[in-house]
Structure 1
Amino acid sequence: MHGAHDLLKAIALVMCVAAVTTVLFQRLRQPVVLGYILAGLIVGPYLPIPLVADTGIVQTLSELGVILLMFSLGLEFSLRKLFAVGPTAGLTAVIQCSIMVWLGFVLGRAFGWTSLESIFAGALIAISSTTIIAKAFDEQKIRGRLRELVVGVLIVEDLIAILLMALLTGISTGSGLSAGDLALTLGKLAAFLVGLVAVGLLIVPRIIRAVVKLNRPETTLVASVGLCFAIALLAQAFGYSVALGAFLAGSLVAESGEEKEVEHLIQPVRDVFAAIFFVSVGMMIDPAIIGRYWVAIVAFTVVVILGKIVSVTLGAFLTGNGTRTSVQAGMSLAQIGEFSFIIASLGLSLKATGDFIYPIAVAVSAITTLTTPMFIRASGPAANWVDRKLPKPLQTFVALYGSWLEQLREAPRKQTLGSSVRRNIGLLLVDAALLVGLVIGTSLALGKITHRVEEQVGLSESLAEKLVIAGAVILALPFLVGIVRVARRLAGELAAVALPLRAEGKTDLAAAPRRVLVLTLQVIIVLLVGAPVVAFTQPFLRGYTGPLIVLGLLGVLGVALWRSTTNLHGHVRAGAQVIVEALAAQSHAKAPGTEHSAPALEKVQVLLPGLGTPTPVRLEEASPAVGKSLAELNLRGLTGATVLAIHRGGENVSVPTAGEVLKPGDVLALAGTHDAVEAAKGLLAPLPEAPVMPGPSENLA
């Protein structure tokens, strides 16, 4: 037991040093989290500074910090919010986490770590930092679509992290990895989550609403914290981490509708104990270990930055965000933070990892925390550069892809989630589950099966093993082929909803864009299924068989997609010529660029449905776009909308080049999502005139 004097001394030392370091970091305009970590390094046992806090006391207090921090994260998560962020953020998070878990595992094995240590390494680099990003976005005043997307991805990542922690706990405390143990672990986890959420939804929201009605803030605070600790203790009693219980407690409280009130009350308490948690993280840093493992720290830092930028950008773009938003989201999420510390400390407490994992995680987090504000500031110019460097066919595809997905999202639910679509999704999940089960089962039972084949057939051990592996590959092929075929069928059904098929006997003018959309959706589905399958099976595979198969499939689909985008570019050029002819014909009757010119383009939309909803915009004399080229205006890079055609008196320009200079009276036909077109209209609109201040004589009058 710790004495009251020792407890007071530890708290005073930690809080005073943390106060000095955080003030210093705020003056330097750096994240205060780094100040807490530095304070922990100062009061820790590894530096020759006569300010050493009791490690046991600080670790005990830091547990409270973890619980309250996870409870606060749970308050931000609710079923309503998960539905609100929609499939975009969720699918992006699944793609990103799967890729990062695999990269972390492969890198850990490359350094000679055990399979379990490598799994923990993959898990701790998969989750970005909610705390760091929220602070950076507030400081740089990031709002709008980018913030909504990043926050949505973070919410789903937090949920994935909770599931990873529960799974890692089950694996680490089990008697070993086997197909039965793994299935039992997943079954217990699912039963615990379903049972706790089902019972909690009936009790916790009612309790919180009743307490809040008393209008006593201190009672609300005490009741909320009491529920938080009680559910955290319940999770621990079932063999899961207190972090999981605290997160679920926050989620259940959020369902009461009073989460804002509870969050406001608990924030000061959370901040105090969260500061102690981050200080305890710094106390775990041993400079000697960091010096010994500096190569691993550099390697993991590079993997975190590049892996997250590429995976988040890819996932965000494929799920319907423009190039600019996708690149900005990827560069914003290129760090790890509080969940990495929690996962690393979980590995230490379960004795599943060596003592080097924790300092490596902290060092990588510290470096990426420093780079995050710089990447967020540089994300806009980087997105513009990427947009400019895209080949012409891809620029055309990028401009129209968002409008196709918008049409798909706006379609009736019975079309996008009809019986046929649900059946195909079910087939995909069954194929993926059977493939994962086959790979894991074969890997875990390889020795026994090989021994039996060796005895019964009389082959050598190496030849028998190769025969067993070949048999497993043959058995796996139908599932692989099934995934590709069902993905193609599902993509075709969804594409037909966005770009409906024409009746037989009529020319299908949407064939080219629909073909591109089918291939793109097929890539998304294969990636969504393949990435988690690879992440799950890589610890049981030798070499890089799984990723090579997925990359091969994506490569074949990518080549087909490139050819289709080239055809699409020609289709758009022909469509743009039809658009300028429609605008020219309309200009003889009514003023183009007004609402009366819309019917002309509506006819074009009927004839060429793959071009989205072309919208005419007239450039006024006072428009800031007048006299600028399209490259200087950077309309597509800033808004996501593209100029399909320009009508200019007797001169018409279809698919204008980047060097085309805009003139007063030009009518631009814009294509893109509704939000992109509205943003483009705002950039093209004349600037409001400054109010004229009355002169002195007018004031006297």
Structure 2
Amino acid sequence: MYQIVVGVSLITTCLNPFMLRISDPAGDFLERKIPERVKGWIAQYNVWLARIREASVPGEVSSRVHRHLAYLAVCWVMMFSFSVIASMLNGYDWSRFSVFFNDHKKAFFALAANLLFLAMLKPIWTAGRHLGEDVGELLLAGVKSGGGKKWRRAVRRMARSCTLLAVSFVTVAEIVMMDINLMPEEIYVRIGIVVVLAVAIPLAAKYLWPAVSSAGVQFNEALEAETRMAAQPKPLTFSLPEDRFLKVELPETSPAVGMTIKALDIRAKTGASVVSVTRDGKRYGNPGADWCFELNDVVEAIGEPKELSSLKDLLGVVVSTHENDDYI
């Protein structure tokens, strides 16, 4: 396979100047020889393409098409990579590991590669089907008016079927070309691999493909999680006036040390609300009635100026710190 790719690259590189020189004369010759009916079809096709380019195609549809094409390209590159890795592993001497494995290494690696190809079929076909649906939307974008629902549905179905057929053809052709290089020469070994794959296909349809689909969904959700979080509305914040916010640290002389919010009956006695308590550098929001105050707790409360003054007296605090903090 590697030698074939290198040979084709060298041949095309050497023939590039020649092909560039004869491209215009060859194009003129073909244009003169093409029948008028075929020219009419080509003209209609060009008109259709012009309409699609001029139509206001939603950017979301175009981005989906590009995304599906990139996904298919990645899948095909991965399949080719599996084939290259299997070919490279076939060149190693595995006799130290197992003589039996070394004698039948081509069969083992060919079977492993084909099982990987089998696992890739479901995501490839799914991406091909979605690509066909989006291609149908692009084709319909060139139709300004006319065409009922049945006609549009037929266009979508045709685009989906043709795209899926093309994707399947490319995938199967790639698998066949790679298997020609990977498969061992023995006929009975090839038949055995085909039998194993024939048994594995229904098992894959029942167990492997659903697992692959679930993994793909989870992977896409993980990729889109950051986008979804960025799209969420940010929490609303506001600043309290300085005289309606109290932040104090409980001293040793505070009568609140060792008592709970319920025992102090802060809400009923003062009218203020304790919104948070900071202890050992950790902030606890909305402490409950069973919260027990300790020495050096930093208490934050909100309320009217008179209510906050009463709370300072209840907590036995003389010096207080006011800050314009933001609250959600």
Q: What TM-score bracket applies, with the shorter chain setting the length? A: 0.3 to 0.5
TM-score normalised to structure 1 length: 0.21
Q: Larger Rg: 1 or 2?
A: 2
More helix as a share of residues? 1
TM-score normalised to structure 2 length: 0.40
